[in-house]
């Protein structure tokens, strides 16, 4: 029997392929991704990132599989998921 911590899912973050452990949140995947500095840009152009980790502040909003305003801290990665941060725009 395989250990749960060895099982991984493949996700794509801003075009970058990434493998993360099963049950990893999107916010944690963003922290693991090389070169990703935030989850989005504010209206003033400042990078934004997760703050509260509970879904209250909504600073971690990303686009997942084309669905905008998904809370990265409350969403678990699944195999084949595409995550767009908008941080580079």
Full set of structural domains in the chain with CATH? 8-84 (3.10.20.30)
pLDDT in tens, the chain (89 residues): 455 557 999 999 999 999 999 999 999 999 888 777 677 777 787 877 788 989 998 989 999 999 999 999 999 999 999 999 987 64
- Quote the pLDDT of residue 86: 82
Instruction: Provide the whole-model pTM.
Output: 0.82
Q: What is the pLDDT of residue 67?
A: 98
Q: For residue 64, what is the enclosing H or E element?
A: strand 61-64
């Amino acid at each position: 029997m395989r250990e749960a911590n060895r099982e991984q899912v493949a996700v794509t973050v801003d075009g970058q392929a990434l493998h993360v452990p099963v049950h990893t949140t999107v916010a944690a995947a963003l922290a693991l991704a090389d070169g990703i500095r935030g989850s989005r840009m504010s209206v003033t152009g400042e990078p934004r990132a997760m703050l509260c980790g509970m879904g209250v502040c909504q600073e971690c909003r990303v686009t997942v599989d084309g669905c905008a305003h998904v809370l990265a801290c409350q969403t678990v990665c699944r195999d084949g998921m595409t995550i767009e941060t908008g941080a580079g725009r």
